[in-house]
Chains A and B, each alone.
Chain A
Amino acid sequence: MAQLTHRTSSLLKPLSFATRHLSSTTPITIETSLPFTGHNIEPPSRSVETTPQELLKFFRDMALMRRMEIASDSLYKAKLIRGFCHLYDGQEAVAVGMEAAITRKDCIITAYRDHCLFLGRGGKLVEAFAELMGRKEGCSKGKGGSMHFYKKEGGFYGGHGIVGAQVPLGCGLAFAQKYSKDENVTFAMYGDGAANQGQLFEALNMAALWDLPAILVCENNHYGMGTAEWRAAKSPAYYKRGDYVPGLKVDGMDAFAVKQACKFAKEHALKNGPIILEMDTYRYHGHSMSDPGSTYRTRDEISGVRQERDPVERIRKLVLAHDLATEKELKDTEKELRKEVDDAIAKAKESPLPDPSELFTNIYVKGYGVESYGADRKELRAVLP
């Protein structure tokens, strides 16, 4: 059996028998699509070490996330998901790349575009769909909704509706990590729209002052709902906004660039305090399902990005170039994932709606026995548990 140790992406002559000779842990080196740009810091190298196993996992995870978001789109149009639904398709590389670089003990906190990050942190498809449809089996028992996915065991702290409010919380998580000295970091994610919030700079100042292991990740998809970044920010170079805090600009559509950057950031944060990562990414859907997404940008732009920079396609090409699977095998995987998602939706649809008594649970922590009245003072009455 031929042991192949290093193959770069420039070798594009697949040998038909070579696929069976790569063991799944053989290291492969891949070059990121673009070099990193650093602010006040030496950027890491462009070469990323990976293995066939990881490559295939990336493909699988990202395709699953993509499939889940598209299924959510149909569910929303079928009026099974109501309210606000913010979809993440196009940005999957950020979620998957970040997961690959960290452990479940590290914390991630984000805003409302949280479905895929929830999956990445160990959330189940059924839990996600049930929560979106407001059922009892949802991750927040149906009481949170699309914008409030949490997974405590997975180190996923949500899921927040108010733009920018999650960043001070993220710095608080980092504070707790420093307090308990457990050598973990927090990734506080926000968007280009939230980058103009004052509380972000307040939190960054405090994180830098006390050397908290906080990594601020700006997922720059270039539009704050309907406002393009150049119309909202005087300086759209979000990675430079930290001034004395170092920053790194990363191609957010390249999962390996994200992985390398997050690994680098984690090492930096544990030693030197906060760092800002700007992920240059793109969302195909509008800001939310109520936004068509085409009034402030052209369809050509969207399809252009889809053709040239799509994260799932990039991984597919890498998998094929390294002969880890055939075109047909990848298509089969996608079919399998589609079925998985459909099964999860079917199961979530069967889940019951929460009990009326659930209206009053989890307002306070147990041990508080006060009566509460509903809108109709005579009938809907419960003792707050």
Chain B
Amino acid sequence: MAAMLQSLGVTSASVTSNKFTAFSINSLPVIRSESRTVSVAINGTRKAGKVTTKAVAAQAENPTSAASKPGHELLLFEALREGLEEEMDRDPRVCVFGEDVGHYGGSYKVTKGLADKYGDLRVLDTPIAENSFTGMAVGAAMTGLRPIVEGMNMGFLLLAFNQISDNCGMLHYTSGGQFTIPTVIRGPGGVGRQLGAEHSQRLESYFQSIPGIQMVACSTPYNAKGLMKAAIRSENPVVLFEHVLLYNLKERIPDEEYVLSLEEAEMVRPGEHVTILTYSRMRYHVMQAAKTLVNKGYDPEVIDIRSLKPFDLYTIGNSVKKTHRVLIVEECMRTGGIGASLTASINENFHDYLDAPIVCLSSQDVPTPYAGTLEEWTVVQPAQIVTAVEQLCKQ
């Protein structure tokens, strides 16, 4: 694992475009995966398939070779759909449960067209019963199916908390390893455009203590597709956090098949002065602030942590050892959020390398208001990030 992460650290992705809504990545890391043939049993039938056990990002041997294969441009929700479709083609046990995922095509069009292609049983339109259909997904997973549960909005999955915590997370342990629960629970969360308090929730903080699940957050079409595929192939239950406002991001992604690692962080912009850790939509606020900071003479290192449980302490640690200052920018609430856990983790492990206390910028501990200006103030804005970095570097 160490060797793989080393190579990831070396790869650089530079952001060049002016608008942060659409940008292109110059050098693409080529993902090479270690695969071995594994027999896949579906209730009696045996089908040998190649299973990628470790999806690794290694540096592109020839940077220009990646550029010569232009790839194709698409939006984030299309990237998710592509990943989903490829996995459904590959493995007949993959199925989707969710409200309006079938005939309607998904409320954010992630599953559009899939019901026509795979049928109503594989892309199942459920009634509005989150608790039960998440439970059904767990039951189906116990027999070997690989269901993907879509919460129309992540906030609705709070109704299924018992199923996610006890049955998804703990069944592998309490059965002594007899059952694996390879489910993927995904959905859009985060603060949108004046959606109101109950539809702007960030569940990362509620789920992070559940033992037995993995959590990842995607932020670009490239990592959305890669993480979706990795989550489906993983034998562990994975919660994939998407963001309502990022679905229309456009990016050019490679044509070849690739799977990303669920436990690795992404180096967005290497730097020297300060490490900024972020994930999901805040990545874009950070990159916007980074432009201002570069103009002011600072050199921030931006890491998209991607893996919310467990943290990729290897990449983060290497960065801390280099810059000695950490700023965490997240959309979670202040109390008990991902930033709080990350602060504790870094303090415990890398305390000696820190020149200044860790600064954590999170959303305010309030229900998200409807009014536009108030909503803007609940989340971290680029100006606040710039101020925080300046203060951090003064110490």
**Total A-B residue contacts, Cβ distance less than 8 Å:** 157
- Inter-subunit contact A362/B136 (CB<8 Å): no
- Given A205-B127, A362-B173: A178 in contact with B121 (beta carbons within 8 A): yes
Whether the Cβ atoms of B166 and A175 lie closer than 8 Å is no
Given A144-B176, A168-B163, A363-B212: A377 touches B132 (CB 8 Å cut-off): no
Docked complex Cα distance between A364 and B172 (Å): 7
Interface residue count for A (Cβ, 8 Å)? 55
A202 & B176 in contact (Cβ 8 Å cutoff): no
A178 to B121, CA, bound (A): 9
Asked if B44 lies at the interface with its beta carbon under 8 angstroms from chain A, I say yes
With contacts A148-B174, A202-B129 taken as known, whether A168 is within 8 angstroms of B166 at the C-beta atoms is no
Please determine whether A364 and B140 come into contact, CB atoms closer than 8 angstroms: no
B176, B234, B348: the one contacting A141 at CB < 8 Å is B176
| B167 contact from A145, A169, A362, A367, Cβ within 8 A | A169
B42 at the interface (CB under 8 A from A): yes
> In the assembled complex, which residues on chain A have CB atoms less than 8 Å from the CB atom of B131?
168, 198-199, 202
129-181 of chain B: CB within 8 A of chain A: 129, 131-145, 162-163, 166-167, 171-180
In the complex, residue of chain A having the shortest beta-carbon distance to the beta carbon of B235: A365
Contact A158 B129 (CB under 8 A): no
Whether A165 touches B176, Cβ cut-off 8 Å, given contacts A206-B129, A367-B53, is no
CA distance A265 to B178 in the complex (A): 28
Q: Which of B4-33 contact A (CB under 8 A)?
A: none
Q: Are B136 and A168 in contact (CB under 8 A)?
A: yes
Q: Return the chain B residue nearest A169 by Cβ.
A: B139
Residue A234 at the chain B interface, CB threshold 8 Å: no
Size bin of chain B's contact surface? 35 or more
Q: Which residues of A have CB within 8 Å of B171?
A: 158
Chain A residues, Cβ within 8 Å of B42 = 180
Min CB–CB distance B88 → chain A (angstroms)? 13
The reply on A176 being an interface residue by CB < 8 A is: yes
Does A159 reach chain B (CB closer than 8 Å)? yes
The answer to whether A206 and B133 have CB atoms under 8 Å apart is yes
Within 8 A of B (CB), among A323-373: 361-370
Q: A206-B132, A364-B172 are in contact. Are A176 and B54 (CB under 8 A)?
A: no
Name the residue of chain A whose CB is nearest to the CB of B181.
A365
- Nearest CB of chain B from residue A171's CB, rounded to whole Å: 5
How far is the CB of A309 from the nearest CB of chain B, in Å? 33
Q: Which chain A residues border B179 with CB–CB below 8 Å?
A: 150, 152, 157
A174 to B53, CA, bound (A): 30
Q: State in angstroms the CA–CA spacing of A107 and B178 once bound together.
A: 15
The verdict on A179 contacting B135 (CB below 8 Å), with A139-B176, A143-B174, A368-B236 known, is no
Q: Nearest CB to that of B172 among chain A residues?
A: A362
Chain B residues, CB < 8 A from A171: 132, 135-136, 139
Contact call A144/B138, Cβ cutoff below 8 A: no
Task: Indicate if the CB atoms of B348 and A168 lie closer than 8 Å.
Answer: no
Asked if B343 lies at the interface with its beta carbon under 8 angstroms from chain A, I say no
Residues 155-177 of chain A: 1 if any B CB is under 8 Å from the residue's CB, otherwise 0?
00111111001011111111111
Interface flag for B43 (CB, 8 Å): yes
Q: Does residue A140 face the partner (Cβ distance < 8 Å to B)?
A: yes
| Interface of A, helix, strand, loop or mixed by DSSP | loop
Interfacial chain A residues near B176, Cβ < 8 Å? 138-144, 150, 362
Rounded to whole angstroms, the CA-CA distance of A284 and B134 in the bound complex is: 35
Query: Is A365 a contact of B139 with CB atoms below 8 Å?
Result: no
Which of B129, B175, B211, B263 makes the CB contact (< 8 A) with A148?
A: B175
Contact: B95 with A179, CB < 8 Å?
yes
Q: How far is the CB of B141 from chain A (nearest CB, A)?
A: 8
Q: Is B1 an interface residue (CB 8 A)?
A: yes
CB-defined contacts of A142 to chain B, threshold 8 Å? 176
B292 at the interface (CB under 8 A from A): no
Query: B214 near A: Cβ within 8 Å?
Result: yes
A22 at the interface (CB under 8 A from B): no
B144 touches A176 (CB 8 A): yes
> At the interface, yes or no: B105 with Cβ under 8 Å from chain A?
no
Which residue of chain B has the shortest Cβ distance to A358 in the bound complex? B176
In addition to A180-B42, A362-B177, 5 A-B residue pairs with Cβ atoms within 8 Å of each other are A172-B141, A176-B43, A203-B129, A203-B132, A366-B235
Lowest 6 A-B CB distances belong to which pairs? A172-B139, A168-B135, A169-B139, A172-B136, A140-B176, A202-B129
Interface residues of A (CB under 8 A from B): 107, 109, 138-145, 148, 150-152, 157-162, 165, 167-180, 182, 198-199, 202-203, 205-206, 209-210, 361-370, 377
Residues of B within 8 A of A (CB): 1, 42-44, 53-54, 95, 121-122, 124, 126-127, 129, 131-145, 162-163, 166-167, 171-180, 211-212, 214, 234-236, 263, 310, 348
Can you sample 7 A-B contacts with CB below 8 Å?
A: A140-B178, A148-B175, A171-B132, A174-B139, A199-B135, A362-B172, A377-B348
